[in-house]
Structure 1
Amino acid sequence: MSTNDLNFHKSYTPPAGGQVALNFTLNPDGVPTTAVVRLVKSAPTLRIVGDAEKAVARTATVTMALHTVQTLHVRASYANNVFRGPSSTPASVYEMATPSSSAKSSAFEQSASLKAAREFSWRPPTQSLGVTTAIYENALKSRAIAGQVWEAAAPMTTARDSLWKYPPHLKPALASRYESAAPLSSLRGDSWEYPPHLKPVMTLRHEVALPAVRGFGLPAKAGQRRVKTTKVPWEAAKWASYGKESPYVPPEIPGYTSDTALNFICPWLDYAGNDILINFGKYPCKEAEPTQPGTGIIMPVKKVYIVINNVLLRRLDGNVELPTFSLSLSIDADSWTWGFNAALPAAAQDAIEPGSDGTPVELEAVINGTAYRVLAENISRDRSFGQAVIRVSGKGKSAMLGAPYAPILNFGNAQARTAQQLMNDALTINGASIGWTVNWGLTDWLVPSGAWAHQGTYITALNTIAEAAGGYIQPHPTQKQLNVLARYPTAPWSWGSLTPDFELPSDVTTREGIEWVERPRYNRIFVTGEGQGVLGQVTRAGTAGDILAPLVTDALITHADAARQRGLSVLADTGRQAHLSLRLPVLAETGVIQPGKFVRYMDGGTTRIGIVRSTAVEVGVPEVWQTIGVETHVA
């Protein structure tokens, strides 16, 4: 606690009653403070500047020369908005608070605005007149109207209301919450009023239709009776007309001449095991290779295309015919065997079970005269109330050349061989043929000794050789024969002058789909071999060869013919293409159109020519449909 000295400048006189009156006013004795001022100049000023430190007594003298006035009253003011240290009237820690004036309200009221003459705490004070005061002056007397901190509140005016007052009386014009409704005027109606009467000229929404004029007709109206009747090919039979009857002359039958030579009209086929099947049925040569449709088949536009479908599925071993609910076959340019699915009655399960060694049963599916040999690999059964179905799936006969039926072998050429000879060598074991042949459809080339080595199955070795020259492998439907085809026998930019294998109008198709595909427009490529290979540069004729395709490396590119065929397969699969999907019946003229065939498709004024890339056959007796995928190029 700080200590303050109290300076009592008057002599002490004990008051009556033992009480002490402390007067801290500026003039405790009631004697006016007198100051002598001499004015020297017309506008004298006095400026006192001091630091913020403990206040000390200072005396200022102002001298003023007076000529005519002997008595002068001076009113001086000073700026006290500076720090002057402890005042002369300190109080104890717990002193009485200064009474609030009547203009003040509670302790937490809005502060009064500062006067314009006052300044902030830390800035130079304003100029003051030359009137000084003592450092320890008496405090001013409080006004009589001042009140204490907790004084009686001022009475509120009559215009104000207390917080909890009685609500004002309702006016007679106001109504309560549930008062009687005011009557509506005669021109207004409530929300459920009666609708106005309809005018005589208005009709309902569904009125009686007006009769149509004589020249108005619907798009599908009653047909007109034709004068000439139309006859179908199979109409009701009728009696032959009367005419002249010719006498019947029986033909002459030559006498029987014996011959010891046996004439087998069916060609020899490779049968499973050592048994030779002799069929004395109605169709003795079911397994014979059917006559393939020729090239340049043109399908005419007809009003009606009549197809008599004939589907047969049988087990070759024992010639067991299998009833079929549904059947499907599929193949594409990147598959070396057919895919097969069929649904059979549950009673046929024993006929398609594999042998004791796990060898799958070989089946034959005949679709409109074309036979396909397949293997029943996977068997499953679906049974529902009152019906059980066996589902069988598998691959074509050429699946025996791949896993899991064929072993993993090492292939190579110890001496110089052509590519076709390498394929034939791959289909042998110790120089003996395994029964499969190759139908070569590429330009052959010479492979130096030791240039090729491969490890895998028979079919992987064959695919490696075919892909080296841009080719692919397709199986024969029934025989042990593989067809090696060029992916692009002719460059697409030359297909306009090509004679297609089939010419199909849009009338023969039941569904058509087109997908436009954009390929990089390469016009130049480098293909190279490896140790004994060659480097070939293939450029599309008529172009600048400025768009280079990625480099192709293959150990079997050992000749310019191989490099040219491989480069053509890359440069041909470029630019904008239109892939067609055509669904049509298996006609007698076309048969099943397989991958590698050229098709010209005519859709009104638009003609597209392309090569078949995929084929799918769906059999749902009595309907048989095939869907072919055709790759065409847009100029």
Structure 2
Amino acid sequence: MAATDLEFSQSPLGSGSPVEIVFGDDSGAPAGTAVLHIAGSITGLHGHITARTFALAHAAGSITGLRGHITAHHDINVSRPLARTGRDAWQPAAPLRAGTQVRFEQSRAIGAALRAQWQQSVQIGAALRAQWQATDPVQRATRLQYQQALRLDAAPVRQRFEDAARIQHLRRHQYQHARSLAATPVQQRFEDAESLRRLVRQQYQRAVPLAAAIAQRFGIADHLGVVRRAQYQQAQKPLPGVTPGTQPPAPDPCYVPKLPAELVFDLAADAALPLGLLFVCERGGSLPPPAGIVVPPRRTYIVINSIEIRRADDLAGDPLPSETFQMQLDRQSWTWTFSASFHASARDAIAPGPGGQPVELEVRVNGQPFRLQAERIGRSKRFPGNMVTASGRGLAAVLDAPHAQVQTFSQTQDRTAQQLMAEVLTVNGVGFGWTVDWQITDWLVPGGIWMHQGTWISALKDIAGSVGAYLQPHDTAPILRVLPAWPEPWWRWDTLVPGVELPEGIAEVGDTEVVDLPGYDRIFVAGEAGGIQADLTRNGLPGTMLKQPMAVHPLITEIVAAKQRATAELAESGRMLKHKMTLPVLPATGVIKPGTVLRYVDDASTQRIGIVRSTAINQQFPVLTQSLEIDSHA
């Protein structure tokens, strides 16, 4: 392709008129080859200059006062790109006053909820109008989150919403601008209450004057002579040195101002209270803490014994004709076990229900209720009549075999030990009526640490046993209590408050067994994978007597759990005393259950503190007794 060069120069004296050059064939002249040479000075030029295909235009010199038009036509018989210039088919768009239309189409449904986030748009010169059209209903709910927009100093951006077409399952939300609270005062309307038709009527009458004479006696007062003596002495300048302060004498705690002391008792206040006086004076010491229930010493104790057994669904009926009754509970057990014998007429009342479901009984031991289940029924024929026997366990028997199946318990999230117990007593995450009374210190168990295979009760025992605690059933409700093995170790029993205090001579039989154990003062406690390891020693002791083996459990994940387990282990040390006593079921104490802190007098007439470990109720009409096994320390 031939090159086309145009060179123009303007004389400084020229007027600087514009020069227009047009390329294009719009004259209809036949194509050809032309060469245009311009040289010299052109002034006052008028007319048109036409350049055909393959035209070379050269201009040299000075052009002043140029007038007219120069037209150059460039015809190319094939489509070829230009080397220096090109023609662009785009032109500046004219600004439209109409709003910008944005269309959204339905996206595919995903597993999670659709979340849309909005942010502040950039301000433009014209108002921005966004249109939305109704989308097709999806199976999952669409959640849109909005946040407060920032206020702009310029003109606000308006958004117009177009009414969507009504479709099925469409929720329509309407929004409008709230009125400013500062501009519109808050108005509260009150309406008059409806007048009551009834009137409160009060009657007054004139009071009757009462005349009562008040007699006061006055006598001649005795003259008291009080002599006040004031001593004065000559003052002097203090001598150099330090004078120690005077210490007043300590008061005698056993000082009595006047002997004999006069005691006044008001028996009209409560004649049922026992009249017992105890005077103790201990110089340099303190009295032991009082017990919650104190049985006073008496020559005779009168107790009306009664065992009443009824079906739990017929508490208003007559008691079943029972002959004998025994019930036992110890620290290693988590529910009561019992056996009873009845007259043959009670066979249908204690028979299992439909499907072999054991019947639930309520037993009242001197008025104290217990809920039990008759799991096994037997018959015996003895002179002079037939007998029916029943045995079973408490309400918690439903948590163990054969009523409960073996399953696997585990936890994947962080839980406390108390929460682990609460999750065990569920089916598919829903509780079935049993709860836990947590009475030990709780601690955190990380996820994936604990796993157990067994029944509900075995899983609960595993959690409680990790820190040396045990389970005890409630008397009548579906509640399991979690109790520590030792409320306080024996070396801190001086601060332990007894629950029951028994006098000397109240026990019919008292046996004592002395068990000598090493004086352990140190133990290693460790958890398994994910747990902790702790070396614990009693305060104030050298830690030379190590207890073996070390205590290991996967739930020992915090130092709180390690200390509770170490206390339970180290308390089983030193010279321990195991007492057995049999006493009546007194109205003041009722059935003394395991875990009770007991203050009693042993066979050597020594007052001791111990913890009840086992309780057995035995009834052979008309005698009813309870036998206790107590752990104490020398």
- 1:65-84 to 2 correspondences below 5 Å: none
| Structure-2 residue corresponding to 1:11 | none
Q: 1:407 to 1:596 in 2, by over 3 A?
A: same
CA distance in 2: counterparts of 1:467 and 1:421, whole angstroms: 16
| Structure-1 residue corresponding to 2:606 | 606
Of 313, 320, 343, 1:317 maps to: 313
| Structure-2 residue corresponding to 1:593 | 592
Say yes or no: does 1:485 pair with 2:483: yes
Say yes or no: does 1:303 pair with 2:299: yes
CA distance in 2: counterparts of 1:407 and 1:436, whole angstroms: 16
- SS of the aligned residue for 1:391 comes to strand
| Structure-1 residue corresponding to 2:226 | none
- 1:432-581 to 2 correspondences below 5 Å: 432-549=430-547, 550-581=549-580
| Structure-2 residue corresponding to 1:26 | none
Q: Are the counterparts in 1 of residues 528 and 552 from structure 2 also a CA contact under 8 Å?
A: yes
For 1:182-212, what per-residue CA distance to the aligned partner results, in whole angstroms no more than 9, with x for missing partners? xxxxxxxxxxxxxxxxxxxxxxxxxxxxxxx
Q: Are the counterparts in 1 of residues 443 and 561 from structure 2 also a CA contact under 8 Å?
A: yes
CA distance in 1: counterparts of 2:445 and 2:382, whole angstroms: 59
CA distance in 1: counterparts of 2:565 and 2:592, whole angstroms: 26
CA distance in 2: counterparts of 1:555 and 1:363, whole angstroms: 39
Q: Are the counterparts in 2 of residues 496 and 609 from structure 1 also a CA contact under 8 Å?
A: no
How far does residue 474 in structure 1 lie from its aligned partner after superposition?
Answer: 0.2
- 1:81-480 to 2 correspondences below 5 Å: 296-319=292-315, 321-480=319-478
How far does residue 299 in structure 1 lie from its aligned partner after superposition?
Answer: 1.0
CA distance in 2: counterparts of 1:579 and 1:508, whole angstroms: 18
- The residue type equivalent to 1:595 in the other structure is P
CA distance in 1: counterparts of 2:384 and 2:501, whole angstroms: 47
Say yes or no: does 1:625 pair with 2:625: yes
How far does residue 436 in structure 1 lie from its aligned partner after superposition?
Answer: 0.4
Q: 1:609 to 1:295 in 2, by over 3 A?
A: closer
CA distance in 1: counterparts of 2:605 and 2:382, whole angstroms: 51
How far does residue 605 in structure 1 lie from its aligned partner after superposition?
Answer: 4.5
- SS of the aligned residue for 1:357 comes to helix
- SS of the aligned residue for 1:352 comes to coil
Q: Are the counterparts in 2 of residues 495 and 610 from structure 1 also a CA contact under 8 Å?
A: no
How far does residue 509 in structure 1 lie from its aligned partner after superposition?
Answer: 1.3
How far does residue 620 in structure 1 lie from its aligned partner after superposition?
Answer: 2.0
- The residue type equivalent to 1:561 in the other structure is V
Q: 1:446 to 1:551 in 2, by over 3 A?
A: same
CA distance in 1: counterparts of 2:433 and 2:505, whole angstroms: 44
- SS of the aligned residue for 2:354 comes to coil
Q: Are the counterparts in 2 of residues 364 and 374 from structure 1 also a CA contact under 8 Å?
A: yes
Q: Are the counterparts in 1 of residues 504 and 605 from structure 2 also a CA contact under 8 Å?
A: no
- The residue type equivalent to 1:564 in the other structure is K
- The residue type equivalent to 1:507 in the other structure is G
- The residue type equivalent to 1:627 in the other structure is S
CA distance in 1: counterparts of 2:407 and 2:313, whole angstroms: 30
For 1:514-556, what per-residue CA distance to the aligned partner results, in whole angstroms no more than 9, with x for missing partners? 1111223221110101111000112122221111111111000
CA distance in 1: counterparts of 2:383 and 2:506, whole angstroms: 40
Q: Are the counterparts in 1 of residues 398 and 404 from structure 2 also a CA contact under 8 Å?
A: yes
- SS of the aligned residue for 2:459 comes to helix
CA distance in 2: counterparts of 1:510 and 1:582, whole angstroms: 7
How far does residue 457 in structure 1 lie from its aligned partner after superposition?
Answer: 0.7
CA distance in 2: counterparts of 1:378 and 1:407, whole angstroms: 20
For 1:100-131, what per-residue CA distance to the aligned partner results, in whole angstroms no more than 9, with x for missing partners? xxxxxxxxxxxxxxxxxxxxxxxxxxxxxxxx
User: Percent of aligned pairs with the same residue?
Assistant: 45
How far does residue 295 in structure 1 lie from its aligned partner after superposition?
Answer: 5.7
- The residue type equivalent to 1:572 in the other structure is A
- SS of the aligned residue for 2:593 comes to coil
Q: Are the counterparts in 1 of residues 507 and 582 from structure 2 also a CA contact under 8 Å?
A: yes
Q: Are the counterparts in 1 of residues 293 and 501 from structure 2 also a CA contact under 8 Å?
A: yes
CA distance in 2: counterparts of 1:465 and 1:537, whole angstroms: 22
For 1:17-44, what per-residue CA distance to the aligned partner results, in whole angstroms no more than 9, with x for missing partners? xxxxxxxxxxxxxxxxxxxxxxxxxxxx
- SS of the aligned residue for 1:330 comes to strand
- SS of the aligned residue for 1:464 comes to helix
- SS of the aligned residue for 1:522 comes to coil
- SS of the aligned residue for 1:565 comes to helix
Q: Are the counterparts in 1 of residues 294 and 502 from structure 2 also a CA contact under 8 Å?
A: yes
- SS of the aligned residue for 1:618 comes to strand
How far does residue 506 in structure 1 lie from its aligned partner after superposition?
Answer: 2.2
For the aligned residue pairs, the C-alpha RMSD in angstroms reads 1.6
Q: Are the counterparts in 2 of residues 302 and 507 from structure 1 also a CA contact under 8 Å?
A: no
CA distance in 1: counterparts of 2:362 and 2:448, whole angstroms: 41
Q: 1:373 to 1:472 in 2, by over 3 A?
A: same
- The residue type equivalent to 1:392 in the other structure is A
How far does residue 499 in structure 1 lie from its aligned partner after superposition?
Answer: 1.8
- The residue type equivalent to 2:300 in the other structure is V
Give me the TM-score of the superposition, normalised by structure 1.
Answer: 0.53
For 1:399-431, what per-residue CA distance to the aligned partner results, in whole angstroms no more than 9, with x for missing partners? 110111012121111100000000000001111
For 1:315-362, what per-residue CA distance to the aligned partner results, in whole angstroms no more than 9, with x for missing partners? 113345311101111100000000101010112111111123111111
Q: Are the counterparts in 2 of residues 583 and 627 from structure 1 also a CA contact under 8 Å?
A: yes
CA distance in 2: counterparts of 1:391 and 1:329, whole angstroms: 14
Structure 1 runs of 4+ aligned residues shifted over 6 Å read none
- SS of the aligned residue for 1:407 comes to coil
For 1:212-252, what per-residue CA distance to the aligned partner results, in whole angstroms no more than 9, with x for missing partners? xxxxxxxxxxxxxxxxxxxxx9xxxxxxxxxxxxxxxxxxx
| Structure-1 residue corresponding to 2:223 | none
- SS of the aligned residue for 1:366 comes to strand
How far does residue 621 in structure 1 lie from its aligned partner after superposition?
Answer: 2.4
- The residue type equivalent to 1:312 in the other structure is E
Give me the TM-score of the superposition, normalised by structure 2.
Answer: 0.53
For 1:551-589, what per-residue CA distance to the aligned partner results, in whole angstroms no more than 9, with x for missing partners? 111000000000000011110011111111111111111
Q: Structure 1 regions of 5+ residues with no counterpart?
A: 1-232, 234-293
For 1:284-313, what per-residue CA distance to the aligned partner results, in whole angstroms no more than 9, with x for missing partners? xxxxxxxxxx96211111011111123200
How far does residue 623 in structure 1 lie from its aligned partner after superposition?
Answer: 1.9
CA distance in 2: counterparts of 1:605 and 1:329, whole angstroms: 30
Q: Are the counterparts in 1 of residues 291 and 501 from structure 2 also a CA contact under 8 Å?
A: no
- SS of the aligned residue for 2:542 comes to coil
- SS of the aligned residue for 2:588 comes to coil
- The residue type equivalent to 2:476 in the other structure is T
